[in-house]
Amino acid sequence: MNSFPLKLFLFFRLKMKRSQKAFVLFFLLLGFASHCQTSKNIISNRVQYTSNEGYHIIAPTTAVYGHLGFLWITGNNADNQNFLFENQEIVIQRFDGIGFYDVPLPETDATIINAFLFQDNPRGLFIRIDYKDKKTDLYHINPETQVFTLIENYIEVDGKYGYVTSFNLNGELTFVHCGKEEVALIKIENNRAVVKDSVPFEYNTNFSFPNWLSHDGEYTFLRVMDGVHYVVKYDGTFVKKMTRDDFDFQDNQPPIVLEHLNYACKIDGKYIYSSYDHPNIFLEFDEVNFRLKQIDTHAYRENDIWHWVGTSNKYLYTYSLIKEGAELKVINKNTFKIEESFQTDGFHVVAERDLNKEVVLLYNNTVDRILFNQNKIDTYLKGESIRAMLEISEDRYLISTDNKGIFELNTRTKETKKIKFTYRGKEVFITEPREIIKTSDGYIFNDTSNLYEVNSNYQVQQIHNHPLWFEETIQIGDKIYKGGVHHLGMLAFDIQTKTYERLEDYAFQTREFATNGSDLYIVSVNKGFFVYQNGVFLNFLPENEIAENLLSISYSESHGVLVSTKQGKIYAFDLEKKEFDLFYEDNLKASIVGMILDESGVLWLNTYAGIVSYNPQTNQEKRYTKKDGIYELEGNRYSTYKDSKGNLFIGSFKGLSVFNPQELKVSEKDLSLQFTELSFYNKNYKEWTTHRDLNFIKSQDEIILPSFNQRFSAKVSLLDIVNHKNYKYRYRLNDDSEEESSEWSSLYLENEIVFSNLSAGNYTLQVEALSAINQNQGNLLELSIISEKIFYRTWWFTILVLLSIVSFFSYLFYQFKSKERLYAENQIAMNEAKIKEAMMLEIHHRIKNNLQVVSGLLSIQAFNSTNPELKSKLKDSQGRIESIAGIHNILYKGDSQEDVLVEEYFNDIITYNKTLFTIPVAYVLDIDDVSLSMDKAIPLALTLNELINNSHKHAFQNIEAPQIKVSFKKDKDIVVFDYQDNGEFKVKTEERVSMGMKIINMMISQLKGEVEYLTEKSFHIKIKINLSK
C-alpha cells in the first residue's frame, strides 16, 4: 500500500490556511475506510450514506456538528463534477441522521471557490466563503432558522491579517490571523470581528500553525514562530510566552526545542500535548502555573510516529504512519494498552460530536458513520453457565457456575480467577454449586452431595453430606432450607447443631425459594406455589394456570411475593387475601426465570429473550438484547443478584451480565424525536411552502389546510447519536371527533409522512420511534391538523342555502299572492273599465244622438224660416252642433273613450263643412300624429269649425281657386295649430266683433293658448297650446 498520498496530505496540512477542526479527527476513522480489523466491543454499527440518500458533495472541505445535532457539510457539488473546465459549484448540506437537505448559500454575483465551517457552541456556526477575486466573507449561521448573517467588518480584518487557523476552547471559537508585523486573535462579538489580542511577529519567519488546538479546556498552545509558543485562552487573549524554563523534562531527557506542540488527549482531567517532531514526548499541562511536564510513555514503541486524535471515556485515539499508509490505534485509558488497531490508505474529512458515541468519516461521495459501542452492560465468564453471585468486598464478587466451579470477579480490573478450594491440604472440587451464603467468618456452598463451610481464604472447614441432591438453598435465621427438582420434599439444615431435618409433609419438587425473613415461599415443579409458615405448608395456584408453568419467585417489601411463568406472566400473591393477581405480561411471552428489584423500584426480569426492565408505576418496559451488550439472550434460573451499590448481576447459560440500572435508564428513553420538515399550503403566502426552520416547526402547535389544498407532508428524525437503521417509525392520524384512535401505520420513504386530499375535520398526528423489537423509543410527537371544509360543506353555507331556499320560496309565495291579488284587482278594474267604457260609449252615443236631434230641429227650423238672416244663424248653430257631435261619434267608434286622434276628427269636420258650402275649396293638411283629450279636442274642433265657416262666408267670394291650409305640429309639450286661407278677408277692428270670432277667442281662452294673427291679404292665425297646463 502506497503511503505517498497520506504524506502529501500531511505536508499540505502544515501549509494550507483553513479550519483545523474538521481535520483534528481526520485519522480517527482511517482504520474504518478500507479493511478493518474490528472488535464488536468497540464498534457497534457502521452506516454509509451516498447520493441515494441525497448526499451530493464530492471532495468535502469541512464537516461540523451544530449544537442541535445536525451535521453540516461543505464541498464541491458532485452533480457538476464532470464539467472539468468550469469552476466547481460549492454547496452546503445539512444531515439530520436520515436525509440530506441543501442549504442555500448567501446570494452573490461573485464566484465562490471555497467554503469552510466553524463550530461555535454558544452561537451556532460560522462559515468563511472565499471568492475568485480573492475576497472573503464571514457569515454567522443560525442552525435553527438557517439564516446567514454577514460579519460586515470581517473583510477589513481579513485584509489586514490573513487567516491562518482557528481554535475552539470551552466551546468558544477564536480565529488566528497573521499580519506583516503581528499575530492577532480575533473573536466575533455582536456580529463584528474584534481583535482581542496580538503579539509581534517577524514577517520573514515561518508561521507554522499547529494542526490540533481545540479541546474542552480553557487554554491551548499557539506556535507563532520557530521555537516560540504562547499560551492562549478561550477568551482570545495571549496569556504567556513559553520558554525552555517552562518545560520539565525527565532526568534522562535532555532539554530540546519542540517545534510543533499539539493537543493530544485528556487523561484523568489533565490535558496532554505531544510534538510531531518528537513523537515519543508527551507533556502534561499545569493550568495553574502554566508549565509543561513530560510524562512516562513506556507504552509506545520508539519507532512509531504518533499523532493524538482525541479522548473518550474509555479510550485514547491515535494514529501513526506505517509503510502501507496509516494505522489508527485505540488505547485503553486505564491500562495504556492498545485494544484495537485499524489500517487504511484513504483521504478523509472527519466530524464528531461525542467520541464516546460516534465519528463521521467523509470521503469521495460517501458519508461513513461509525457508531461506537454504547453498551453499559459488562459481560464476564463468557460461555459459562452462571448460577449464584455474592459480594465479598468492594468490586470483588464470588460467582458460581454449573460446571466450572466458583470464580472471584474484580469489576474494577475486569479480571476473573477460578478459586481453588482445599480441605485438609487437598484440593476439593465443588460440583455444580447453586447458592452462596455469607457467614461471619466465611461462606457456605452447596453442590450435588454436600454443604461446605469455607473460610475467607477459601479453605474448607467442614463438609456436611446430605442424603439427597437438593440444589436450591436459602437461609432463614439459623436454618438453611434445601430443595430441588431431582427429589421430592425438602431438608432443613441447622447451622448450630449441624444436623438435617427431613420435611416430607408435601411430596413436591422445588424450583426456587424466596423469603421475607421469617416465612418461606416456594415455587414447585408439580404442586404450584407454597407458603411455609410456622411449620405448615399452604398450597396455592393462580387461576387458569398449571403447576408446571411456574418458574421463578421473588419477594420485596414494595410488591410482596411475585411468581413468574413459562409464558411470560408474573402474578402477585396477596398474603392477606391468599389470592393471585396478574402483575405483568411479557409482550414476547418469553419465559421469566428471574426477578429482582433495583433501588428506584424498577423490576428487572431475566428472560429467555433478553433482560427486561419494567416500571410498575408507569407501566413502561424495555427489553435489552445483544445490541445493548447482552452476550446471551437465554437467561439462567436462580441467577439474579443486587450488590450494595445497586449494581445488578444477571446470569445466563453463557455468561454474566453486570450493569448499573441508573446508567441504562438515561439511554434510549431520552431520545429526541422531532419534526425536521413541514410542507403545506400557506394561506398567508398563497403558495406551497416547505419549512425546515426548527424554530418555526417547534412553534407550530397546529397547521391549517385550506379547503382548496388539503394536503401536507412531514419528515421526522431522531436527533441523537444512534443508528437510524436500527429504528423504525410509525404514525397515525386520529380524528378528534372520534373516541377511538386510528391504527398505526409504518413509515417509509425516508421517514416522510404524506397526506393528500385530507377530508375536512380536526385531526391529531402522532409519530413515535420503535426499536427492532417494537419498543417505544423517545418521546411521542403530536401535531394538530385542521383541514378546513369546502365552503359548500360548512355550517354557515348550509344555513345560507337554507335561508336562500326559504327566501326564494317565500318570494315566490309573495309574488304568487301579489299577482293573485293584482289579478283580482285587475279583473275588478277591467270589469269596471268595461262598464265605464260601455257607459261612456252609451253617453257618447246618446250625446251624439241628442246633438243630432238638436241639429235636425235646427235644420227644420232653418228650412221653414223665411228670414235669411235667421236661416243663416240657425245653420251656423247647426254646424257647431255637428262639430261637437262628430267628436262624440269618433269617441264612440274609436278604441279610446278619453283621447281623440286630431287628424281623424279634423278630416270629419272638413268633410262635414264640404257638405254645407257649395264653394269648392281645396284643403291642404299637415297634421302630426297627435291625440288630444276631450277637454282639448272639443274647443279645438269648435275653433276649426268656426274658422272654416268664416272663410266660406267672408273670404272666397272673388277667389277662383279657394284654398285652406291646416297645420298641427307637436314639439314636446307644445302644439302649434296653424290655419290660413287665400281669401280677401281682413279684420275690421273698428266694427263690432262677430259671433264666430267671439267663439274662437273663447275656445282659445279655454285651451289656454297663445294666439297670433298673421293676416295681411288673407286670413292667417297661429295658436300655441301647452299640453302640460
The CB-side HSE value for 543 (13 A sphere, CA atoms) comes to: 5
**What would the mean pLDDT of 90-118 be, rounded to a whole number?**
89
Interval 612-669: pLDDT, tens: 999 999 888 888 888 778 889 999 988 999 999 999 999 999 999 999 998 876 554 4
Interval 1005-1015: pLDDT, tens: 888 888 888 86
**b/e sequence 460-469, b meaning 16+ C-beta within 10 Å:** beeebebebb
- pLDDT higher than threshold 90 for residue 460: yes
Interval 195-208: pLDDT, tens: 999 988 765 555 55
Tell me whether residue 408 is exposed, middle or buried, using C-beta atoms within 10 angstroms of its C-beta: 0 to 12, 13 to 18, 19 or more. Answer: middle
- pLDDT higher than threshold 50 for residue 313: yes
Q: What was the pLDDT predicted at 12? A: 33
Q: Which of 70-74, 211-215, 716-720, 754-758 has the lowest mean pLDDT?
A: 211-215
List strand residue ranges (DSSP E) for 856-946, in order: 899-901, 922-927, 931-933
Q: What was the pLDDT predicted at 204? A: 52
Q: What was the pLDDT predicted at 582? A: 95
Q: What was the pLDDT predicted at 835? A: 76
Is residue 950 within 8 A of residue 890, CB to CB? The reply is no
Inter-residue long-range contacts of 221-229, CB under 8 Å, 24+ positions, other chains counted: 221/261, 221/262, 221/263, 221/273, 222/167, 222/176, 222/183, 223/259, 223/260, 223/261, 224/183, 224/199, 225/201, 226/259, 227/257, 227/259, 229/258, 229/261
Closest CA to 482 of 527, 520, 519, 537: 520
Tell me whether residue 291 is exposed, middle or buried, using C-beta atoms within 10 angstroms of its C-beta: 0 to 12, 13 to 18, 19 or more. Answer: middle
Pairing type for strands 579-585 and 592-597 reads: unpaired
- Cell (9 digits) for 778: 423517545
- pLDDT higher than threshold 60 for residue 29: no
Q: What was the pLDDT predicted at 33? A: 33
**What would the mean pLDDT of 262-274 be, rounded to a whole number?**
78
Tell me whether residue 785 is exposed, middle or buried, using C-beta atoms within 10 angstroms of its C-beta: 0 to 12, 13 to 18, 19 or more. Answer: buried
Average pLDDT, the chain: 81
Interval 591-605: pLDDT, tens: 999 999 999 999 999
**What would the mean pLDDT of 464-483 be, rounded to a whole number?**
85
Pairing type for strands 648-652 and 712-718 reads: unpaired
Q: Which of 83-97, 474-488, 516-530 has the lowest mean pLDDT?
A: 83-97
Q: At what angle do helices 934-954 and 995-1007 cross, to 10 degrees?
A: 150
Q: What was the pLDDT predicted at 85? A: 45
φ, ψ of residue 174 in degrees (nearest 5): -130, 130
- pLDDT higher than threshold 50 for residue 13: no
Q: What was the pLDDT predicted at 844? A: 67
- Cell (9 digits) for 423: 480441605
Q: What was the pLDDT predicted at 3? A: 34
- Beta bridge partners, 922, equal 963
Closest CA to 619 of 603, 606, 635: 603
**What would the mean pLDDT of 1017-1026 be, rounded to a whole number?**
88
Quick one: pLDDT band at residue 86, thresholds 50, 70, 90? Answer: low
Highest mean pLDDT among 529-533, 696-700, 896-900: 529-533
Measured distance between the N- and C-terminal CA atoms of the chain, rounded to whole angstroms: 126
Quick one: pLDDT band at residue 993, thresholds 50, 70, 90? Answer: low
Decide which of 306 and 22 is more confident.
306
Q: What was the pLDDT predicted at 304? A: 47
- pLDDT higher than threshold 70 for residue 109: yes
Q: Which of 188-192, 368-372, 819-823 has the lowest mean pLDDT?
A: 368-372
Decide which of 180 and 19 is more confident.
180
For residue 269, the SS3 value is coil
- Beta bridge partners, 604, equal 596, 613
For residue 816, the SS3 value is helix
Order of strands, edge to edge, in the sheet holding 472-476? 472-476, 479-483, 490-494, 499-503
Q: What was the pLDDT predicted at 357? A: 76
Q: Percent of the chain scored above 70 by pLDDT?
A: 84
Quick one: pLDDT band at residue 584, thresholds 50, 70, 90? Answer: very high
Highest mean pLDDT among 63-77, 556-570, 847-861: 556-570
Order of strands, edge to edge, in the sheet holding 592-597? 592-597, 603-607, 610-615, 620-624
Q: Percent of the chain scored above 90 by pLDDT?
A: 26
**What would the mean pLDDT of 362-383 be, rounded to a whole number?**
83
Quick one: pLDDT band at residue 23, thresholds 50, 70, 90? Answer: very low
How far apart CA 878 and CA 853 sit, in angstroms, is 10
Is residue 691 within 8 A of residue 773, CB to CB? The reply is no
How far apart CA 813 and CA 134 sit, in angstroms, is 86
Q: What was the pLDDT predicted at 549? A: 94
- pLDDT higher than threshold 80 for residue 131: yes
Cell numbers 439474579: residue: 640
Cell numbers 398505526: residue: 744
Interval 281-293: pLDDT, tens: 778 888 888 888 8
Highest mean pLDDT among 293-297, 301-305, 421-425: 421-425
Q: What is the pTM of this model?
A: 0.61
Question: Residue 958, Cα to own-chain centre: how many angstroms?
Answer: 118
